[in-house]
Chain A
């Protein structure tokens, strides 16, 4: 999903790289990143997993990115239980994003690293940004990522006995599995649309987000 520097500059106007591009490039250079992109004004810097903490430490101490905005993850998967599968096959992986910014010019940089889906583990950022504590706990329970060195990696939102990791793409929307989707059958249609409402009763009773034929879109 991240474009290499050559991709980004290729789409640039002939005037050369914008200020945002040169900023992203300088950040990438300082932290020793693999690649960077500025698509849709979103600065994203891809770093290697073993350079995760050192990159973020550089960002905070040398680049002035002292504001910890958020940490989260994206489960890239071809085998999805809810929603639509990616149109093009993707590498099965967990992408962790940490967004940090400054408080002077309003810059925000998303650091990104990819983890294997099974046994995902990453060094904790709690020693660098205090705010990473809750965000890592959330990512741990939602995506099954082990943050090594985290002081208290217990469940944050979910009950402690909860099984599964809800934001993984393999996790079904449980409420719709347990309780059938009412669809339109128990909703009184508007007078002029009564006929439309009963056209395809099978499709209407499908739980939204569960069946692949009618994923609720």
Chain B
């Protein structure tokens, strides 16, 4: 036996021995991990670099809003609901208000509806920009964060100038929006409407935002490393998405052109023109591209809305003590994260008898164990990050 033959024999023995000893390892990610957007724990069984089984552990952020809502009045619940998905607080309030208004049969003034629409789209931009900041960061690119947060700051400043709050505006009232809003830090006296310069400020911010979208295309979408990390990774089929109730940009990335803004009338989206962004493959890259396109479409909506906004009152006539008539209603809205809905059961009192909160991220991440089966360990982050969930929206 030559030395080469002996070496070969030895090598084959070693490789057999290695193959025999492959116990599954359990890898714990979180609850404190930069990619979990809150406190999510993932228990993954890994065989080498392959993930064989994933169990998400949630509930670290469970605040029991559905129970608390039973002892709160409708106006008090506004403050609760905008903390569900704290990245887009304003958008959470709108469907709740729309549901209560539907039960009370209140017609909201057109100007208030437009203000709601502008601020909801700003909340969407702010939420998507947070995704634009965090997702490349999770994949190892730090610069896009600066671009995204710079633009987000402009949008948050605009939201703050109207509502007084950056993340938790608590600005909607049943029947409209808070009429004494817009007092901002520089205006001592409360004014009755949008702050001076808001509409022009919105136009400028949208122009600047659209330029940044081009920069994002050049900086991130064309980046070879970024493409290698997310192209063809975590493909979600439209059937699986519908089966698990995955909604919003994650659903549209799978090629389903379904957008509640086109189907429901909770805000005057029929007065503006915009396109529903969809993907083709349903991979992580599509989820990125859909969100990038949605930022553009939201900017177009805001541009049209500030041009069209009618004058008029900001609030319908509502009684001082709000009692909602008996009935059950479900109103859902297209939130930045997906379908957000409130099922209100009212017994005619000042607070709901039961409030079911349907939040988007909860259904969105329930599909993750299936998507993560058989992927490589680094893809866990690339897939989870692309779903853009917020744990407050998962746990409620």
Chain B residues with CB under 8 Å of A1's CB are: 328, 345
Chain B residues with CB under 8 Å of A97's CB are: 343, 356
Minimum CB–CB distance for A141 against chain B, Å: 10
Does the CB pair B328–A105 fall under 8 Å?
no
- Say yes or no: is A103 at the interface (Cβ < 8 Å to chain B): yes
A104 to B258, CA, bound (A): 7
Best-surrounded residue of A82, A131, A216 (most CB of chain B within 10 A): A131
Using a CB-CB cutoff of 8 Å, which residues 8-50 of chain B contact chain A? none
Does the CB pair B264–A134 fall under 8 Å?
no
A196 to B343, CA, bound (A): 37
Chain A residues with CB under 8 Å of B349's CB are: 84, 87, 217
Contact with B along A83-125 (1 / 0, CB 8 A): 1101100000000010100011110101000000000000000
Does the CB pair A209–B71 fall under 8 Å?
yes
Does the CB pair A40–B67 fall under 8 Å?
no
A82 to B73, CA, bound (A): 13
Does the CB pair B59–A158 fall under 8 Å?
yes
- Say yes or no: is B272 at the interface (Cβ < 8 Å to chain A): no
Does the CB pair B363–A70 fall under 8 Å?
yes
Does the CB pair B356–A166 fall under 8 Å?
no
A44 to B345, CA, bound (A): 13
- Say yes or no: is B351 at the interface (Cβ < 8 Å to chain A): yes
Chain B residues with CB under 8 Å of A42's CB are: 328-330
Minimum CB–CB distance for A61 against chain B, Å: 12
Closest to A112 in B: B328
Q: Which of B145-153, B212-220, B224-232, B239-247 contacts A (4 or more CB under 8 A)?
A: B239-247
Closest to B55 in A: A152
Minimum CB–CB distance for A168 against chain B, Å: 10
Does the CB pair B358–A41 fall under 8 Å?
no
- Say yes or no: is B366 at the interface (Cβ < 8 Å to chain A): yes
Using a CB-CB cutoff of 8 Å, which residues 83-112 of chain B contact chain A? 102-103
Closest to B103 in A: A40
Q: Of the candidates B62, B71, B370, which one forms a contact with A173 in the assembled complex, judged by CB atoms under 8 Å apart?
A: B71
Q: Of the candidates B71, B245, B362, which one forms a contact with A67 in the assembled complex, judged by CB atoms under 8 Å apart?
A: B245
Chain B residues with CB under 8 Å of A167's CB are: 66-67
Closest to A142 in B: B66
Best-surrounded residue of B67, B263, B264, B326 (most CB of chain A within 10 A): B67
- Dominant secondary structure at the B interface: mixed
Chain A residues with CB under 8 Å of B348's CB are: 87
Contact with A along B251-283 (1 / 0, CB 8 A): 100001010101110000000000000000000
Q: Report the count of interface residues on B (CB-CB < 8 A).
A: 52
Chain A residues with CB under 8 Å of B264's CB are: 106
- Say yes or no: is A66 at the interface (Cβ < 8 Å to chain B): yes
Minimum CB–CB distance for B262 against chain A, Å: 8
Chain A residues with CB under 8 Å of B244's CB are: 68, 129-131
Closest to B348 in A: A87
With A67-B245, A131-B366 already in contact, the answer to whether A74 and B59 are too (CB < 8 A) is: no
Q: Of the candidates A40, A66, A217, which one forms a contact with B350 in the assembled complex, judged by CB atoms under 8 Å apart?
A: A217
Minimum CB–CB distance for A128 against chain B, Å: 9
Q: Of the candidates A41, A69, A216, which one forms a contact with B245 in the assembled complex, judged by CB atoms under 8 Å apart?
A: A69
With A156-B59, A208-B71 already in contact, the answer to whether A110 and B330 are too (CB < 8 A) is: yes
A167 to B66, CA, bound (A): 8
Q: Of the candidates A87, A133, A166, which one forms a contact with B64 in the assembled complex, judged by CB atoms under 8 Å apart?
A: A166
Chain A residues with CB under 8 Å of B243's CB are: 66, 68, 129-131
Contact with B along A162-192 (1 / 0, CB 8 A): 0000110001010000000000000000000
Chain B residues with CB under 8 Å of A110's CB are: 330, 343
Does the CB pair A70–B102 fall under 8 Å?
no
Chain A residues with CB under 8 Å of B256's CB are: 103
A105 to B260, CA, bound (A): 10
Does the CB pair A86–B353 fall under 8 Å?
yes
Does the CB pair B329–A84 fall under 8 Å?
no
Using a CB-CB cutoff of 8 Å, which residues 316-350 of chain B contact chain A? 326-330, 332, 339, 341, 343, 345, 347-350
Does the CB pair B71–A215 fall under 8 Å?
yes
Chain B residues with CB under 8 Å of A142's CB are: 66
Chain A residues with CB under 8 Å of B73's CB are: 217
Using a CB-CB cutoff of 8 Å, which residues 63-89 of chain B contact chain A? 64, 66-68, 70-73
Contact with A along B352-391 (1 / 0, CB 8 A): 0110101000110011001000000000000000000000
- Say yes or no: is B289 at the interface (Cβ < 8 Å to chain A): no
Chain A residues with CB under 8 Å of B294's CB are: none
Minimum CB–CB distance for A127 against chain B, Å: 11
Q: Of the candidates A66, A84, A209, which one forms a contact with B242 in the assembled complex, judged by CB atoms under 8 Å apart?
A: A66
A67 to B332, CA, bound (A): 14
Using a CB-CB cutoff of 8 Å, which residues 290-329 of chain B contact chain A? 326-329
A208 to B68, CA, bound (A): 10
- Say yes or no: is A72 at the interface (Cβ < 8 Å to chain B): yes
Minimum CB–CB distance for A21 against chain B, Å: 16
Chain A residues with CB under 8 Å of B262's CB are: 106
Does the CB pair B341–A70 fall under 8 Å?
yes
Closest to B262 in A: A106
A144 to B80, CA, bound (A): 26
Does the CB pair B72–A216 fall under 8 Å?
yes
Minimum CB–CB distance for B5 against chain A, Å: 53
User: Can you pick out 5 interface pairs between chain A and chain B where the beta carbons lie within 8 Å of each other?
Assistant: A103-B242, A110-B343, A133-B366, A157-B59, A216-B71
Apart from A41-B329, A82-B70, list 9 A-B contacts with CB within 8 A.
A39-B327, A40-B103, A40-B329, A84-B351, A99-B330, A106-B260, A110-B343, A157-B395, A217-B71
- Would you list the 6 A-B pairs with minimal beta carbon distance, nearest first? A106-B263, A209-B71, A157-B59, A131-B244, A83-B70, A40-B329
